[in-house]
Structure 1
């Protein structure tokens, strides 16, 4: 049984905008369902991707199509005021994603302030960046409800990821085909730092990754963590965190 904590849906009914010249192929809710059928997925988080802009409507539509245990993480938008953040939460959005790799709108200080305001409305912050860049801001981040994408991405960022996990951050065990570190070693280190930090995910359809998600990535999580911790990573931690 798996709660897929990070994947994308690109429905042809909704236009995409090229990001750094890249537009992903369509990947519908039905295609997602078919791909994860062998994995026992019972819920998950539909996460905003850079070519989707900041409108959460396509994500909410995908979550409704997938079922009641699927929730949404919308793209963070510096133009959202408190009323707009409250509306996101009222619509069922669980968090906002800061894509520091591909969105020039954000610096780390502006992200921290927006994440703080989002948190006042029950929205956590998901951060896609090299975790090493977060080191000078670890104390401020520890005061927020945050999720670190893709194991923190780099070997240099792993100590920071572990420190933030000890402080309460969640870490997505996914994107093994895009990270610049040894996934097995990172899984082991993060689990040792904070046994309830890891949340497994497929990262489907693995856009721009060096290699796409493979079922063997889930097998790796099970092998490294063992049965009890793997169950937490594959289902329990994310289901509780996303309130699904």
Structure 2
């Protein structure tokens, strides 16, 4: 089945890397990504900037140039970045800004609304959040001011799952990624989200699964395939993410 990988990282040591909470990731090149996904029908995807890459954009531009047109970038953008520099990113297939509320390495939450709206208004970029669902209730007033956003890794925590369902109903995207990071069985939660909003879920490998207790394997794909119908799988594995990243 055709897959749009909505969430993976490329870690190229030729470009700057920064320790985050004492962690520095191992190399994960495009070659290694292809090797680990060779048994999947990957037809595009999104490279997501990690906390350990901070505001370096060059690795992302280089990676997208190598991967081709059906791959898109999610960048850590500082509020003060000059418009000409954002123009360059936009022309390089970068289509989203990421706020890592869990680990840092991105712009401050204090600037989330201002930066998200500026990038949406000027470039039609959306916002991606690495956030624990247990914090969503407190963040509700801020999130209501963002035009378009997604949430990584099924929100991580079961304790905030009702808030995740609330946002699914409001039309936000939720990444079915990082099963080795969450504290609940993914399938029942995914089925509930799908029943609320069939356009919400987007599969991603989360490769190379940095700091995850259990790294991604092809068994994660098989688990989803065993529990959803063919039309549902088409949405989860490809259509929803393709619509999200390809800016019409």
Shared fold, TM over 0.5: yes
CA distance in 2: counterparts of 1:120 and 1:82, whole angstroms: 13
Q: Which moved more, 1:98-107 or 1:157-166?
A: 98-107
SS in 2 for 1:115: helix
Match status 1:236 vs 2:239: yes
Aligned to 2:225: 222
Residues 1-244 of structure 1: pairs in structure 2 closer than 5 A: 1-80=2-81, 84-103=85-104, 108-121=109-122, 122-138=124-140, 140-142=142-144, 143-243=146-246
Length-normalised TM-score, structure 2: 0.91
Q: Which moved more, 1:193-202 or 1:6-15?
A: 6-15
Q: CA deviation at 1:238?
A: 0.6
Unaligned segments of structure 1, at least 5 residues:
none
SS in 1 for 2:31: helix
Q: Give the ranges of 4+ consecutive aligned residues of structure 1 lying more than 6 Å apart after TM superposition.
A: none
Residue 14 and residue 131 in structure 1: after superposition, are their counterparts in 2 closer, same or farther (change >3 A)? same
Q: CA deviation at 1:104?
A: 7.1
CA distance in 1: counterparts of 2:84 and 2:162, whole angstroms: 37
Contact kept, 8 Å, 1:165 with 1:194, in 2: the verdict is yes
Q: CA deviation at 1:200?
A: 0.2
SS in 1 for 2:6: strand
Q: CA deviation at 1:180?
A: 1.9
Contact kept, 8 Å, 2:6 with 2:202, in 1: the verdict is yes
Residue 13 and residue 170 in structure 1: after superposition, are their counterparts in 2 closer, same or farther (change >3 A)? same
Contact kept, 8 Å, 1:95 with 1:126, in 2: the verdict is yes
Q: CA deviation at 1:230?
A: 1.1
Residue 10 and residue 128 in structure 1: after superposition, are their counterparts in 2 closer, same or farther (change >3 A)? same
Unaligned segments of structure 2, at least 5 residues:
none
Q: CA deviation at 1:84?
A: 4.4
Contact kept, 8 Å, 1:170 with 1:197, in 2: the verdict is yes
> What RMSD over aligned residues (CA atoms) do the two structures have, in Å?
1.9
Q: Which moved more, 1:38-47 or 1:126-135?
A: 126-135
Q: Which moved more, 1:219-228 or 1:33-42?
A: 219-228
CA distance in 2: counterparts of 1:203 and 1:105, whole angstroms: 18
Deviations 1:109-143 (A, max 9, x none): 43222212221121110000112212244365345
SS in 2 for 1:191: helix
CA distance in 2: counterparts of 1:76 and 1:117, whole angstroms: 12
Contact kept, 8 Å, 1:74 with 1:93, in 2: the verdict is yes
Report how many aligned residue pairs link the two structures. Answer: 244
Residue 104 and residue 61 in structure 1: after superposition, are their counterparts in 2 closer, same or farther (change >3 A)? closer
CA distance in 1: counterparts of 2:4 and 2:24, whole angstroms: 27
SS in 2 for 1:11: coil
